[in-house]
Amino acid sequence: MWGMGVLAVYHSKVINWSASAFVDEPVKRWPPKRAKYGGKTLVKTGRLRASMRVLKTTPTIVHVGTDVPYGIKHQEGRGFPERQFTGHSAVLSRATADFIVSNLNKVMSA
């Protein structure tokens, strides 16, 4: 599960933040910051993005998230425009399946 956790965190921290969107099918673009605040969307100090990590694993599920208190407000749009940055994604599911198949092929060919 460790490798899939790393993949899920990478999807949240790198793929989504780089795209300023929740990368899924369809891609859910984040509403832009208001002009007076400047900078990149969801990046003021970098704390939220840096806090993304594996929170819990089970034999079949990896939970990725943050313990930053305002993260849920952005994720679900509580008092802010909704800017989902983690969750189930068809794009991530395909990447996970490719990761599993690749690793099984390595084991089978060893």
* Residue pLDDT tens, the chain, 110 long: 668 899 999 999 999 999 999 999 999 999 988 767 677 888 889 999 999 999 999 888 899 999 999 999 999 999 989 999 999 999 999 999 999 899 899 999 97
pLDDT of 11 reads 95
Contacts of 31 (CB under 8 A, 6+ apart): 41, 81, 82, 83
Q: Which contiguous run of DSSP H or E holds residue 29? A: strand 28-29
| C-alpha separations of 60 from 53, 63, 69, 97 in Å | 17, 10, 27, 13
pLDDT of 1 reads 63
Asked if 5 and 54 touch (Cβ cutoff 8 Å), the reply is: yes
The number of distinct structural domains making up the chain is 1
Give residue 92's domain range: 2-109
pLDDT of 44 reads 86
